[in-house]
């Protein structure tokens, strides 16, 4: 295929998806029963896709690292899911959701994909209500909405602070129904270690049974990657410990282009790091910014007293508080997009106003909301989040403000896909956070759940048929094919090589070193010298890993350490590509902030003349530089402008 034929249909924006569905080919019900599809991952994207494909009649195999599909990391999402229902009658629309998403992503996303996402968003809510998802409701029984960053309308549907869990339970129930009917075969505690290509097309995977250590071969007529993002390259992130980029990375090494790897979302509302032995960070939902106000003291003497625990935050008078987001961005206030809020917090902390002992925290305060609405209302909206915060910090957020600081949360980059969600490898699809497609350089809050369910329920089930319609005469994939032999041997050799090193450093020791490099040089602020240094240091750390890592135990057993080691080997390569992509992009946009390219007011400064493209990288070997391909972005329906959240 033409690497950059996005297959986005021509014509009016609002008609593109309808016309495309009418034009692509379909597979008859009788022929669907002949076709096998592998889905890797059971988060909202993977679970919804597997359930939908099985309902259509395909034979589906679904793989997840967790001991149950319902433990996928989507379950950790808190705040909500966007849809353009306009239930609040506040002038929302499909176009407004489309516009907010493009603008929030700093004009670095494909128009056709984003409009389709906004268009199908309303169907998602209907689907989930029908499944029994317990969305919050108003007094009269109608579904409630709340606000999220980057929008001036209330379009976020939610189930208290556990929206991801409730949505995943809905998709999991649909998936379980099809497992029970025999349409889906589930493989929990399995990890994909390679994708198998036959005649250049995806025809299966090599997976490791994480309980027995056995290496398995699985064939299919198409493979769907729904394995999430690669944020754990930073070691500390809000992601679950098992979250990793390995499945997507193996696709890249087999020829699938990897797009925009440098676009990393730093979430502004996380509990600050508390020590060197910490293994992950805890997210506090963006929904808290609906009623919580973010501030630091205006006076440095108050900051010093706070750090010395001579005063409490509540002792600081209202006139001595700097509500800096409200000051800098009056139109959006505390609900600016995540990248903007994160950089603003960093700026205040860099200026010396950080409120905890490390100087890396700001306050999220509910004092005004409690006075205005009453404690019971706040408890009904955010009670489980407040409870979680108190358990972790031993501070009652009803009485004292929360302390928050930005942390790695989501990766907008991922496998490049066309309008059909197919990668540059025929028969290989990527959905949800595993692909790059719908968020540009920054994801608006409550849009991850929207994209995962849109891809799984309402896009992939249509588009995959266009490819499979040309393969209905194909026989079942023979896993004794030499391509499976070659892929399995490569996986086993890699594992054996790691075991044979018998060095002195643990996987976690080396991963923490990588995380420190990434956060220091490829984190919230980047510059040319730092990125060049990061590339060199990561190369040195890769050599150190292959020379000095120690993995106890042996292959063929339950062994979490070899799991982590194999993933770290991939993270070391992913981190280098992220730094290389950031070095190449001489502009600031969204989650990519190059300090050389900013306005006088410290805002991101894009270069639309030279960087208005998707950067898609092609693998050329472990020691060779990758090739950069550019998918130019053409904006026909939106006027590209400097992002403005001030008025």
Residue 338 catalytic?
yes
Give the phi and the psi of residue 63 in degrees, each rounded to 5.
Answer: -120, 135
Number of residues written out for the chain = 647
Give CA–CA dist 444/338, Å, rounded. 7
Element (H, E) at 198: strand 190-198
Element (H, E) at 610: helix 608-611
From 70, 321, 338, 526, the catalytic residue: 338
**How many degrees, rounded to 5, is the angle at CA 373 between CA 371 and CA 377?**
125
Beta strands in 487-632 (DSSP E): 613-618, 627-632
Give the phi and the psi of residue 296 in degrees, each rounded to 5.
Answer: -135, 160
Measured torsion, CA atoms of residues 5, 7, 10, 16, in degrees rounded to the nearest 10: -150
Beta strand 215-219 with 36-40: parallel, antiparallel or unpaired? unpaired
Give CA–CA dist 542/551, Å, rounded. 16
Q: What is the DSSP string of 283-338?
A: B--GGGGGT-EEEEESSHHHHHHHHTTSS-GGGS-GGGEE-HHHHH-TTTGGGS-H
User: Among positive and negative, which fits the CA dihedral 331, 611, 412, 266?
Assistant: negative
Task: Return the CA Rg of the chain.
Answer: 24
- Tally Cβ neighbours within 10 Å of residue 338: 27
Burial of 480 (0-12, 13-18, 19+ CB in 10 A): exposed
Contact 33, 59 (CB under 8 A): yes
Contact 275, 393 (CB under 8 A): no
Burial of 544 (0-12, 13-18, 19+ CB in 10 A): middle
Residue 619, token pair as written in the block: 């693998």
Burial of 310 (0-12, 13-18, 19+ CB in 10 A): exposed
Give CA–CA dist 177/239, Å, rounded. 28
Give CA–CA dist 610/271, Å, rounded. 38
Residue 413, token pair as written in the block: 């980059």
**Residue 30 CB partners (closer than 8 Å, separation 6+):** none
Contact 313, 404 (CB under 8 A): no
Residue located via tokens 């026989």: 475
Residue 220, token pair as written in the block: 């299919």
Residue 243's alpha-carbon distances to 72, 232, 563, in angstroms, are 9, 7, 11
Residues involved in catalysis: 338
């Amino acid at each position: 295929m033409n690497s950059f034929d996005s297959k986005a249909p021509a014509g009016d924006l609002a008609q593109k998806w309808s016309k495309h569905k009418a034009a692509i080919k379909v597979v008859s019900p009788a022929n669907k029963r002949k076709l096998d599809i592998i889905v890797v991952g059971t988060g909202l994207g993977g679970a919804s896709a597997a359930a939908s494909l099985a309902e259509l009649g395909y034979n589906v195999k679904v793989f997840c690292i967790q001991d149950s599909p319902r433990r996928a990391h989507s379950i950790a999402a808190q705040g909500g899911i966007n849809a353009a229902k306009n239930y609040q009658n506040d002038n929302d629309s499909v176009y407004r959701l489309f516009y907010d998403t493009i603008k929030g992503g700093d004009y670095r996303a494909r128009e056709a994909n984003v409009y389709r996402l906004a268009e199908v968003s309303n169907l998602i809510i209907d689907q989930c209500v029908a499944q029994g998802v317990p969305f919050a409701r108003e007094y009269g029984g109608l579904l409630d909405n709340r606000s999220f960053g980057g929008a001036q309308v209330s379009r976020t549907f939610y189930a208290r602070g556990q929206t991801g869990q409730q949505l995943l339970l809905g998709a999991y129930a649909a998936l379980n129904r099809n497992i029970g009917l025999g349409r889906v075969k589930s493989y929990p505690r399995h990890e994909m270690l390679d994708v198998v290509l036959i005649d250049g097309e995806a025809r299966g995977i090599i997976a490791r049974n994480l309980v027995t250590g056995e290496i398995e071969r699985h064939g299919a007529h198409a493979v769907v990657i729904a394995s999430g993002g690669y944020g754990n390259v930073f070691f500390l992130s809000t992601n679950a410990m098992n979250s990793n980029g390995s499945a997507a990375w193996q696709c890249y090494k087999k020829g699938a282009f990897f797009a925009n790897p440098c676009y990393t979302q730093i979430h502004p509302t996380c509990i600050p790091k508390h020590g060197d032995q910490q293994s992950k960070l805890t997210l506090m939902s963006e929904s808290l910014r609906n009623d919580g106000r973010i501030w630091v003291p205006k006076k440095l003497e108050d900051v010093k007293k706070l750090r010395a625990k001579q005063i409490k935050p509540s002792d600081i008078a209202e006139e001595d508080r700097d509500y800096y987001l409200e000051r800098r961005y009056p139109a959006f206030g505390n609900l600016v997009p995540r990248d903007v809020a994160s950089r603003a917090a960093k700026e205040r902390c860099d200026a010396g106003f950080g409120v905890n002992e490390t100087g890396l925290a700001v306050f999220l305060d509910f004092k005004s909301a409690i006075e205005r609405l009453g404690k019971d209302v706040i408890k009904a909206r955010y009670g489980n989040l407040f409870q979680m915060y108190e358990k972790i910090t031993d501070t009652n957020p009803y009485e004292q403000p929360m302390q928050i600081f930005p942390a790695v949360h989501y990766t907008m980059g991922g496998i490049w896909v066309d309008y059909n969600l197919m990668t540059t490898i025929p028969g290989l699809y990527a959905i949800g956070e595993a692909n790059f497609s719908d968020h540009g350089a920054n994801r608006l809050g409550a849009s991850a759940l929207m994209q995962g369910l849109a891809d799984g329920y309402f896009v992939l089930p249509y588009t995959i048929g266009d490819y499979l319609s040309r393969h209905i005469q194909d026989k079942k994939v023979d896993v004794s094919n030499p391509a499976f032999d070659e892929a399995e041997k490569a996986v086993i050799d890699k594992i054996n090589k790691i075991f044979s090193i018998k060095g002195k450093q643990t996987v976690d020791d080396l991963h923490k070193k990588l995380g420190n490099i990434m956060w220091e040089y490829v984190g919230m602020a980047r510059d040319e010298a730092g990125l060049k240094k990061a590339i060199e240091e990561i190369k040195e750390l890769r050599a150190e890993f292959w020379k000095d890592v120690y993995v106890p135990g042996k292959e063929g057993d339950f062994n979490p350490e070899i799991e982590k080691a194999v993933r770290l080997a991939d993270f070391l390569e992913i981190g280098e590509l992220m730094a290389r992509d950031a070095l190449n992009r001489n502009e600031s946009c969204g989650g990519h902030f190059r300090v050389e390219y900013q306005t006088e007011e410290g805002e991101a400064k894009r270069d639309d003349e030279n960087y208005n493209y998707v950067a898609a990288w092609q693998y050329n070997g472990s020691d060779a530089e990758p090739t950069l391909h550019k998918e130019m972005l053409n904006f026909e329906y939106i006027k590209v402008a400097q992002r403005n959240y001030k008025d």
